[in-house]
Structure 1
């Protein structure tokens, strides 16, 4: 493996539960040294967080200014739009196995490969759209391992909301949830007409009265990184403020 700081690298991680290998991206900060322990930011749709969110540049600026704690960034990219529907979508055929892979196998690989703090509140999950739904799914399934999750404009339907209802470990969670005000009528990457705003408001109506830490924001804009990117600084400070 390549441990050169300041660059995005790739590795393959084998999953027994899924029976296949997954590409994983990782970024070690410019001043990385194994003399320190690090928080872990785990992104889903990771190539978009690097390309459009420029999350590594934002991290370096905030860290240089002493505003956030030491962290490494690890992520799972999507090889195709169809793949996202099968693995990240809460209705996808491989979704549950993928959740188990992250909750058991990926975190074991991360903690055995990098000098991490290995504590629940030293980990943050992040995703947008279907990957945002996936981030919340992982936290719901493994609240003691991944209590902290961000979802930009997640896909939400009635069945997804039901996952939260009656969940006894909601009090363990610290969720950050956003939706764009222009997402009431837009065309998805698959070419389908969709309304994300209404079901996300319904999820918020449920979660705001539950015993968990929960931030919800309706943003000016649509289902695009132009809407999401300005929120990243707030989110990194929210979870990693020094």
Structure 2
């Protein structure tokens, strides 16, 4: 009996019966089933091949208890074991979703496009038209996104940040203004580039002539982590939403090291009129405090669904001295102090109270109120609106 040809024959048969495809698994081709399918009118169809499943739903960030069908979209199965659900015309945006299969949440195996948000991984899709087109990669000149390590006094080592440089940066000697863009609690230096679609937004707005070309610096605001999960000396650590550094004031107190590094290593125009800072939620609080602490450093300030003071603890200088620093910031003046908030944001009252404080001291600001709540849908929109107002003076 010849063993080698028999083994080869068995392996060949197994390959033919294996539905998995990839560079290293060339086997039986799957039926042409795709998911999701986004129609021209933004109706979206979800598909899942799961013949043995008993109950399947779509879990999406556009669904809530107030949605017509509730917070889950039910899928139905045909005779071939294909589950399908159709979501009627959706808005023009980027959406996240998973499947719930017999009580177990899974990602869509037919959709390779995924985004991590804190400790969860979601599939995503982008619909068509209007604002959604800003979140897509189009045939326009492209900027460059790099991950940069810089020396930090916080952990006596190095920390990582993401930096976007506009199209043509590498081939020129031109200097640019800079936007420091801060993430929310649970985020890191990858949040704005992935969930916020910063490179796509910047490329598309620059190509359309709607914003001044700028450098965007996106640091990691959780000082107890030197980099995003899987990229630091901590290895594959459990990802936390609220890390021990929240409310310590370390990010705010040491922000000049980020500015100094960026201005030393990149062609950034110097001076207050060429610097902007903005952030969402926790990053909004950081922005509020940093811009007041360094009261003559930023001419443009953006608060996106901003939190206020991140701790009630005393003896943290950047918090305890905030009121007097804010007065100095008001005295020095800003070209733009911009506040964006959703009508159903859980921080709505916090924002209302803070605006009252600004009114009481006579500090000028611009206020934009949107529909929706504490969502990336709003924060991407705020970035588009805020960036269009920068460096026009």
| TM-score normalised by structure 1 residue count | 0.80
Residue 210 of structure 1 and its aligned partner are, at CA, apart by: 3.4
**Is the counterpart of residue 66 in structure 1 residue 217 in structure 2?**
no
Quote the residue 1:113 is aligned against. Answer: 265
Name which of structure 1's ranges 136-145 and 10-19 shifts more when overlaid on structure 2.
10-19
Equivalent runs, 1:63-212 vs 2, <5 Å: 63-77=206-220, 78=222, 79=228, 82=240, 85-87=243-245, 89=246, 92-93=247-248, 95=249, 97-103=250-256, 105-156=257-308, 163-164=322-323, 167-171=327-331, 172-173=333-334, 174-184=336-346, 196-212=347-363
Number of aligned residue pairs: 221
Larger radius of gyration: 2
The answer to whether the 8 Å contact 1:139/1:147 transfers is: no
Partner Cα separation in structure 2 for residue 52 and residue 98 of structure 1: 22
Partner Cα separation in structure 1 for residue 243 and residue 275 of structure 2: 25
Question: Which secondary structure does the structure 2 equivalent of 1:216 belong to?
Answer: strand
Partner Cα separation in structure 2 for residue 83 and residue 144 of structure 1: 32
Partner Cα separation in structure 1 for residue 356 and residue 273 of structure 2: 25
Partner Cα separation in structure 1 for residue 320 and residue 253 of structure 2: 20
- Point out where structure 2 has 5 or more consecutive residues left out of the alignment: 1-141, 184-188, 223-227, 230-238, 313-318
Quote the residue 1:216 is aligned against. Answer: 367
The answer to whether the 8 Å contact 1:6/1:28 transfers is: yes
Aligned match for 2:161, one of 8, 24, 45: 24
| TM-score normalised by structure 2 residue count | 0.51
Q: 1:241 to 1:86 in 2, by over 3 A?
A: farther
Residue 139 of structure 1 and its aligned partner are, at CA, apart by: 0.1
Residue 110 of structure 1 and its aligned partner are, at CA, apart by: 0.7
Question: Which secondary structure does the structure 1 equivalent of 2:339 belong to?
Answer: strand
Structure having the larger proportion of residues in helix: 1
Q: What is the root-mean-square deviation in Å for CA atoms of aligned residues?
A: 2.6
Question: Which secondary structure does the structure 2 equivalent of 1:60 belong to?
Answer: helix
